[in-house]
Structure 1
């Protein structure tokens, strides 16, 4: 959502870098770029100049413009990240600088902001018009005429700032997380008592904790929480244990006593500690999950049952727990922080075409399941209104299970170089992916035949394999083409299997 803070020039810089990075060419003519971006030559030259100036702010690429030859030479360092380039652009916007100043208590006037951003007062006022539209998506608003410019529930303000600073998080330069005292001891605390959390997960929670500390010091306490937050139960640690094991040393280490912290403050951190994580089957193997039988979690229980019926699977207890716990976390977070326009961890807004492209077979299938499931579970429909990434999140969870039950892509390899060559090729293919694959003889009717000489065996129309020819010593290009062919065969097999599913009738 914060992408709305970028002005036209900043968007053009990012689009230019995105195109060059994805195209991966060392040199471009101005005419070529003008055609790609549909710009006149003089405008394209101006954009190139802006990108050239941006190098000083993000020196992970170099750009040289040859005015005589009308050519652009660009090179990216191995440390270049498009997401980081986007974040550097974002941090230079007027809106972000204002939000940052409000958070740190450094805002004084628009005149000061215009000096800080080297912009005219009129430009600052114009650029800040988008800010209320952005804040409204998070159930907030602001008015610089008020003593406390941000308006909204305190937990929503904390969440918004968490998203804002997490989007630009850089382990080396994060001022927010760096404000945590004795971070090494804190990291050791999490590694001991929450080993299922990755380092990035710990940093994510500390980002929120640091924001909470700042707001507490600024006398902005949480005074209200919805019931689902105050009654939330973490799958792996009880509320009071969390307060004692994590919050007490965290607050003590940052010059506050847990006795000074209100119950809503602690409950909010406990809730966020739960819903900000994803839990794998092995994380939950020793968890006490009897709380999932409570009536309020009945929709999630029914959802898992319907998934098993529709996809004709018999989930193990571990798989059921994995789905139930993660559905509860996703649904709880979606209910509390429901927004019309979601962004991912890098600030990229939801693009349904891109989400579907990530799961070309599974996404439409889960979407079809979802539409049928909402007939008996109408609350799910409301969740999708609050979280337009919901089906994508379901796909990410279900992929872990479905891969275990996936039918293998079967292949047969033939080479004039002999058995040792065939064995090497077979093992390389089997070791190249964690997805199911199996080697068969030609008579066993494989999905794919790979050969460096012509295959003339007759196959029936129903059993006709895909025949892939390459050289006896295949090139890197041929290996790449083969992997793409296997991906296409796998997608076709999965699509055929999913198309046999009966939804409404089996529910």
Structure 2
């Protein structure tokens, strides 16, 4: 977001997030220390945010309890994205990019005059976003009309992220095509598409209406040829383009194939999804393509590095999601998010140092094969997604769960067990005659001394602090157990984040 907002607005967003994330009163002095701004500046920022909120939303306001103590009061339906969107869409950089997309940006001098800013200020703003555009292989060009120079594919990808990551589906930013017109055609064939896919189609339709259809590329026809879902997708998108554009059938087919290659890569497949088998058949038709070969190499390296054998469901879930991810990385250049940090990368970086190191060492192993360097080149984008996919797919619970026994005076064992699973999920109750690795009890009963397993004593009516203590103890046992067996995968995936 810092590429698009001026310094004062960035400060407002920073302060807003601070008071939004913690539901308490902040002193202006504390906010000044955290943000490294003066207290006078903080008071000015809070005053401006308060006025902004009156314009933007009725579901939040700045509350002052006593002099220089402030809190953000908001209702359950308040969305901070709405406020961020307001700031973004009122920034000059955003307005300039929006005009470039709609092909209405004539020249920078006229734009500067219309928006009451200087040429020097606009050039500074443009220079600020040039490094971002470079990531998409786009260049700012100012000839007769200001535009972005690059492939149509990359132009559309950039603007999909530009609009989706700023509007988040809350508003419709497109002027040449209406959302209702697209939905009307979808209703005719009784097919639904994700809201993000509708944004994507609106971008493609707008570009077509402006005279910029997608170019021919054999990659798209190859990818769509054996895909089970292409027929349904083609039916609805063909109707949309026929009704809303004047393209020929051949040009519409190119648009359909291109849009399908983008939107299908965004879908996540659950390992129990019935479509997994269909996608495995699809992969057979592409077994010589780089994205499939790279995925086969990834799984082979993964099983060797972590000393693990995957069951059928795990293998299918990993394989299908990975080859879509690898295909996407191969055909689109640029980050996966604009205006915000990549949440997959951010979540991964919140894990323990050991987990991050293990995944990085595994990634280093992948990089040893230079044949697939084009697929694995974007570590920052991929490593967080790899980690999340492993946590979603690998059944660690049943592989290495800790066996526990619960002894309770009030005999409410099912309820207690469910509460324990909330603080540490990798546990199972012992069956009859089975030894427990941890016995959780509310008293040191005489008969427990004869049983195998460690003892953990807590209150008859366990409190929150008791559950937190048992969670920490279970994690210690789990880590020690994984160290004994040198199970790197457990060490990498144990965290609940």
Cα shift at 1:20: 1.6
TM-score (norm 1): 0.81
Partner of 1:196: none
Partner of 1:77: 75
Separation (CA, whole Å) in 1 of partners of 2:395 and 2:237 = 38
Unaligned runs of 5+ in 1: 193-198, 502-507
User: Aligned in 2, Cα 1:187/1:333: closer, same or farther, shift over 3 Å?
Assistant: farther
Residues 2 and 339 of structure 2 are in contact (CA less than 8 Å); yes or no, is this contact kept in structure 1? no
Separation (CA, whole Å) in 1 of partners of 2:316 and 2:190 = 23
Partner of 1:195: none
Separation (CA, whole Å) in 1 of partners of 2:478 and 2:9 = 41
The one of 210, 215, 221 aligned to 1:223: 215
Q: Deviations over 1:301-342 (max 9, x none)?
A: 222223233333333444333322222211111122233xx3
Cα shift at 1:24: 1.9
Partner of 1:505: none
Cα shift at 1:211: 0.5
User: Aligned in 2, Cα 1:386/1:373: closer, same or farther, shift over 3 Å?
Assistant: closer
User: Aligned in 2, Cα 1:86/1:435: closer, same or farther, shift over 3 Å?
Assistant: same
Partner of 1:369: 362
**Partner of 1:411: helix, strand, or coil?**
strand
Partner of 1:474: 462
Separation (CA, whole Å) in 1 of partners of 2:395 and 2:115 = 51
Partner of 2:223: 232
Partner of 1:315: 310
Q: What aligned pairs does 1:159-178 form with structure 2 within 5 A after superposition? A: 159-176=157-174, 178=178
TM-score (norm 2): 0.82
Cα shift at 1:260: 6.0
User: Aligned in 2, Cα 1:172/1:362: closer, same or farther, shift over 3 Å?
Assistant: same
The one of 188, 200, 204 aligned to 1:208: 200
Partner of 1:11: 10
User: Aligned in 2, Cα 1:53/1:349: closer, same or farther, shift over 3 Å?
Assistant: farther
Separation (CA, whole Å) in 2 of partners of 1:140 and 1:385 = 19
Cα shift at 1:183: 0.6
Is 1:183 the counterpart of 2:183? The answer is yes
Separation (CA, whole Å) in 2 of partners of 1:14 and 1:455 = 57
Residues 208 and 245 of structure 2 are in contact (CA less than 8 Å); yes or no, is this contact kept in structure 1? no
Unaligned runs of 5+ in 2: 490-497
Q: Deviations over 1:356-414 (max 9, x none)?
A: 32587654333322212332x32444434335221111122222232355411333333
The one of 322, 327, 346 aligned to 1:327: 322
Separation (CA, whole Å) in 1 of partners of 2:472 and 2:481 = 14
The one of 371, 378, 392 aligned to 1:400: 392
Is 1:355 the counterpart of 2:321? The answer is no
Separation (CA, whole Å) in 2 of partners of 1:482 and 1:349 = 33
Is 1:259 the counterpart of 2:253? The answer is no
**Partner of 1:156: helix, strand, or coil?**
helix
Residues 191 and 236 of structure 2 are in contact (CA less than 8 Å); yes or no, is this contact kept in structure 1? no
The one of 265, 274, 277 aligned to 2:267: 277
Cα shift at 1:500: 5.4
Q: What aligned pairs does 1:267-306 form with structure 2 within 5 A after superposition? A: 267-281=257-271, 282-287=273-278, 288-289=281-282, 290-294=284-288, 296=290, 297-306=292-301
Greater alpha carbon shift after TM alignment, 345-354 vs 294-303: 345-354
Separation (CA, whole Å) in 2 of partners of 1:54 and 1:468 = 54
Separation (CA, whole Å) in 2 of partners of 1:315 and 1:493 = 21
Residues 251 and 258 of structure 1 are in contact (CA less than 8 Å); yes or no, is this contact kept in structure 2? no
Greater alpha carbon shift after TM alignment, 446-455 vs 139-148: 446-455
Q: Could you say what the CA RMSD is over the residues aligned between the two structures, in angstroms?
A: 3.7
User: Aligned in 2, Cα 1:487/1:233: closer, same or farther, shift over 3 Å?
Assistant: farther
Cα shift at 1:216: 0.7
Is 1:386 the counterpart of 2:384? The answer is no
**Partner of 2:157: helix, strand, or coil?**
helix
Cα shift at 1:181: 0.9
Aligned residues: 480
**Partner of 2:73: helix, strand, or coil?**
strand
**Partner of 1:143: helix, strand, or coil?**
strand
Separation (CA, whole Å) in 1 of partners of 2:157 and 2:204 = 10
User: Aligned in 2, Cα 1:492/1:13: closer, same or farther, shift over 3 Å?
Assistant: farther
